[in-house]
Structure 1
């Protein structure tokens, strides 16, 4: 419920009364559980990350606690990206939520500013590590992957009837990763 409201309205348009009503609580009762509107937002984002990690681990056949662990059964950058895109294609509301909040949080005063900054650094570091030994500049490739994924998702969200996210990703990834991961 909260995820849907944030995806539709963004953080600034989110009404705590609407969230409380959707949960069957009063606003004071809800605030007792989450502390503040800012805390609610971070909890929603962290929950999304946990769900994504569980789904990725299942898709890739890796225990969730080993998904990003050094020395664990490793998957390639193309495999992880493909799994992410397949997951996102099945949850447009969540992708919309993420896109709206990520854009809103570019403002330093946004309550998710630090969350998204840390998340971006973590993603780029992880993707760079997966690209090590395959390209001369793993960090640059990681940035290109993120930009491509985010851009394709925006196109898909605007035109879901004409753009197949998975097909668009696989075509672009085929060119981006050509000859790099064997």
Structure 2
């Protein structure tokens, strides 16, 4: 949107959703370091001070995007599995298949996550602590689900994470030549025996 164009007032929740959507797209295209608050503001029909009113800072904006993604994925996974969460009674392979199907339906979000996860390896990245904590939480959750499935549940959990991450990168590089869901199922046959 051009800066001279009239601005539209939206309800707070709708505006926040718009900000998160525009930011998600821009980070997926450029990475966090390539993200301009002006570009986000322009994409939402806001001024930069108006944008900052909603998110506080560029770091706050990034964390809002990540928190939103986690919440949406959690809701979708719960709905897909028909459970109240990832309890010990849920089948690990079924959980993984649901995650892969979800990710296959949202390449922009997967791209955003892959870019940020790689960028945040730098300790000074604003999402560094988020990804360290998230990795520990995911490993713990998958390890719990792998208990009883494997005599080395943490090792299986690490292999699941590595396999998913690797297949997603291949799919993002060649979306027309890689069917994420099909490749996951083939690999899962080997992984889960």
- Shorter-chain TM range is over 0.9
Matched, 1:13 2:48: no
Q: Deviations 1:115-171 (Å, cap 9, x if unpaired)?
A: 000000000000000011221111111000000000000000001111100000000
Task: State which of 104, 124, 137 in structure 1 corresponds to 2:152.
Answer: 137
Calculate the TM-score normalised by the size of structure 2: 0.87
Matched, 1:153 2:171: no
CA contact (8 A) 2:24 2:112 kept: yes
* Structure-1 separation of matches of 2:87 and 2:177: 38
Q: Deviation above 3 Å: which 4+ runs of structure 1? A: none
Task: State which of 20, 25, 44 in structure 2 corresponds to 1:23.
Answer: 44
> Once the 2 structures are TM-superposed, how far is the Cα of residue 69 of structure 1 from its aligned partner?
4.7
Calculate the TM-score normalised by the size of structure 1: 0.92
> Larger Cα Rg: Structure 1 or Structure 2?
2
> Once the 2 structures are TM-superposed, how far is the Cα of residue 21 of structure 1 from its aligned partner?
1.1
> Once the 2 structures are TM-superposed, how far is the Cα of residue 68 of structure 1 from its aligned partner?
3.0
Task: State which of 85, 90, 95 in structure 2 corresponds to 1:67.
Answer: 85
- The residue matched to 2:111 in structure 1 has which SS? helix
Match for residue 95 of structure 1?
110
Moved more, 149-158 or 23-32: 23-32
Task: State which of 124, 133, 156 in structure 2 corresponds to 1:109.
Answer: 124
Q: Deviations 1:60-117 (Å, cap 9, x if unpaired)?
A: 111xxx31356xxx32110100000000001100000000000000000000000000
- The residue matched to 1:28 in structure 2 has which SS? helix
